[in-house]
Structure formats: structure tokens, C-alpha cells
Structure 1
Amino acid sequence: MFRRTFWFTAGAAAGVWATTKVNRKIKQLTPESLAAQAADKALVAGHKLKDFALDVRDGMVRREAELGEALGLEAPAGPELPVRRNLAVEAAEPEAPAAHRKLPYHSYNRNEDH
């Protein structure tokens, strides 16, 4: 009698455990959950990339200072990189504000083409 009760309880517990595991996995595979996981991984990758870029910049500044010292050059005032300017863009005239732009007129009569 106790043997049957033991195995019945063990089977019920295994069934509850398996059902719980399956339901958790199904919830993990919903589109919303997959999108959230992808967004989280993208944020982590972005933070790692930012950290890498900052490490590269620090190493660059350090190495530039070492080279400047070795060559007897005067080091720049700060760790900023030189700003590259695009002269073609700067020479262009400023664009008119959105309120003053004239948009082309389009007729939206659906029967016009028929």
C-alpha cells in the first residue's frame, strides 16, 4: 500500500515539475520575450563596445604621450581627437525653417486617373 502511494506521489511530482518546466520554456519563446532578450543582449553588447572604445582611446592618448616624450614634442592640452570638418557642408546655405518651406501640391482625387 505504501509502495503504491510513494510511486503515485513521485509520478505526480514529476508531472508537476515537467509541466512547470515546459510552461517556462514556452513563455521564454513568445515573441515579446524574445524581443526583450534581444534588446537586453544589444544593450550589453553596446556597453561592451563603448568600454572597448574608451579603452582604445585611453591607450591611444597614453601611447601618443609616450611618443611625444620620446621625440621631445610638446603634448596636446587634452585627450580630445582633432575635429574633422567637412567644408562642403559648411559652405552650403542654411535650410529654411519648416514653416517657410513650400511643399509640392498633389491632387489626391482617386477618380482623376480613371
Structure 2
Amino acid sequence: MFRRTFWFTSGVAAGVWATTKVNRKLKQLTPENLAVTAANKALDAGHRIKDRAVGFALDVRDNMAQREAELGDALGINETPELPSPRRYAAIENRTNPKSVESDRTTYSYNRNEDH
């Protein structure tokens, strides 16, 4: 009697375990979940590729700068020439002259609808 009860409960437990395992796998294989999984894997792969490409680009940039410095030292062109001082322009025109104020009124039109 105990043997039958043991094997019966073992069978029931195995059946419940197998059923839940199959149901979980079926839920993972729905089209929506497959699309989400594929999108997540694609994003992860893109991030990994971007990180590697950025690291490679930084290495290339560092080596390029180092090589340019070596070539500049070898050719003697690393010395920066002295630049002339920048020109200064008046930020605001002189508006005290009445002729310039009057000429501005006659030449500039601020009517937005005039061109249409």
C-alpha cells in the first residue's frame, strides 16, 4: 500500500513539474516574447560593438597625436608662431549723429507683410 502511494505521489509530482516546465517554455516561444528577446539581444550586441569601436577610436586618436608630435619634433614645426592681436570692432554704431538715425529710418522697413 505504501509503495503504491509513494509511486502515485512521485508520478503526480513529476507530472506537475513537467507541465509547469512545458508551459514556461511555451510562453517563451510566443511571437511577442521572441521579438522582445531578439530586440534585447540586438541592443546588447550594439552596445558591445559601440564600446569596442569607441575604445578603438580613442586608441587610434592617441597614437595619431603621439605620432604627429614625433613628426613635428623631427621636422621642427611644433613651435607655434606668434599671432597678431585680434582687431577690435565697435559693438554699437555711433547713433548720436542725426543723419545716421534718419537714414536708418528711411532705408530699413520693419513691416513684415511688405514683401508679400
TM-score class, shorter-chain normalisation, is 0.5 to 0.7
Q: What whole-Å deviation, never above 9, does each CA across 1:15-59 have from its counterpart, x for those lacking one?
A: 001001110111111000000001101110111121012111111
Q: How big is the shift at 1:62?
A: 1.2
Q: Give the TM-score normalised by structure 2.
A: 0.59
| Aligned residue type for 2:44 | V
Count how many residue pairs are aligned between Structure 1 and Structure 2: 74
- The structure with the largest alpha-carbon Rg is 2
How far off its partner does 1:71 sit?
A: 1.5
Match of 1:68 in 2: 68
| Partner of residue 55, structure 1 | 55
Separation (CA, whole Å) in 1 of partners of 2:66 and 2:8:
75
State the match for 2:11 in structure 1: 11
Question: Which amino acid in structure 1 is aligned with residue 21 of structure 2?
Answer: K
CA distance in 2, matches of 1:31, 1:52: 32
CA shift for structure 1 position 70: 2.1
Q: Which runs of 5+ in 2 are unaligned?
A: 79-116
| Sequence identity percentage | 61
The structure with the greater share of residues assigned to helix is 2
Separation in 2, partners of 1:70, 1:5: 86
Q: Counterpart of 2:14 in structure 1: which amino acid?
A: A
Task: Please provide the CA RMSD for this pair.
Answer: 1.3
Query: C-alpha displacement at 1:3, in angstroms?
Result: 1.1
The whole-number CA distance in structure 2 between the counterparts of 1:31 and 1:60 is 43
